[in-house]
Amino acid sequence: MSNVEYQEGGFLRVRIGDALGNKYNILKYLGRGTYATVWMIKDKAREKYSAVKITRSHQLSRAAAIDEKKVWQHIQKHGQHPNIVKWLDSFNIKHNNTRHFTLRFEMMGPSLADAMKLQERQFHLEVIKRIIKQILEAVKHLHHLGVIHMDIKPCNIMIAITDENIQNLANSEDRTHNRYDLNVTNPNSNIIVKIADMGLSCIADRVRIQARPTCSYSSPEASDA
């Protein structure tokens, strides 16, 4: 996908190769949700790669992203957990008379959901155990900080990739992001996963009543709320 059409209150029109402000270049399209698109970007000066989530210009979309930023700030104030994606910073983008809010993160590989679709063979049981343990460690850490994620599901669990793999992605002419070297059949494979997307999350004493988790992954009490 080379660009996303802009419409009033909608997504920012972005094309591969575009400059994002004065600091970054757009390299690849990574994904799209209801309220935002995600792109691989390169820092022009530092030659570093990261992922940026660009919200729609609609006021509710920007407000939700600002709330998400507050959760990330709360989490990282207490240090970086190895199984939670690292939030780097946020900034606004102006387009004509509208504004889009962004959240920038460390560059990751595919989501667990995408990896399960991409792999021709099943994950080894030992790899599955290791992944589940990492997810539980991350959730435990979030709960210790008083953060409720609200939307734990395979597409919000990201797989870490090496700097070499990130560089290969950046240099590839393939504009998609689905080529990764993942060894999921080896019981000794050291796959690292990280929880991402705090878009529906809340801090325990500041519950966001409007948050609605994905129905097929939500708890019964959340579904009945």
User: Mean pLDDT across the stretch 90-109?
Assistant: 89
Q: Which of 16, 8, 67 is nearest to 173 (CA)?
A: 16
- DSSP bridge pairs for 202: 148
Q: Which amino acid, one-letter code, is at 190?
A: N
Instruction: Give residue 1's pLDDT.
Output: 39
Q: Are 13 and 34 in contact (CB under 8 A)?
A: no
In what side-by-side order are the strands of the sheet with 87-95?
A: 19-20, 24-32, 36-43, 49-55, 98-106, 87-95
What's the pTM value of the predicted model, to 2 decimals?
Answer: 0.88
What is the chain's length? 225
For 107: left if phi > 0, alpha if psi spans -120 to 50, otherwise beta; the answer is beta
Structure-model confidence comparison of residues 118 and 3, the more confident one: 118
> 115-126 in b/e burial notation, b at 16+ Cβ within 10 A?
beeeeeeebbee
Tell me the per-residue pLDDT of 117-136, one tens digit each, with 9 for 90 and over.
876 678 999 999 999 999 99
CATH architecture label of 112-224? Orthogonal Bundle (1.10)
CATH class, 3-106 region: alpha beta
Tell me the per-residue pLDDT of 47-92, one tens digit each, with 9 for 90 and over.
899 999 999 888 888 888 999 999 999 999 999 999 999 999 999 9
- CA–CA gap between residue 42 and residue 159 (Å, rounded): 20
Instruction: Give residue 2's pLDDT.
Output: 45
Instruction: Give residue 72's pLDDT.
Output: 96
Residue 117 labeled ligand binder: no
Q: Where are the domains of the chain?
A: 3-106, 112-224
Q: Which of 105, 113, 17, 99 is nearest to 61 (CA)?
A: 99
Tell me the per-residue pLDDT of 168-195, one tens digit each, with 9 for 90 and over.
888 887 755 556 778 888 999 999 999 9
DSSP string, 133-146: HHHHHHHHHHHHTT
How many helices (DSSP H) and strands (DSSP E) are in the chain?
5, 12
> 192-214 in b/e burial notation, b at 16+ Cβ within 10 A?
ebbbbbbbbbbbeeeeeeebebe
Question: Is a pLDDT exceeding 90 seen at residue 9?
Answer: no
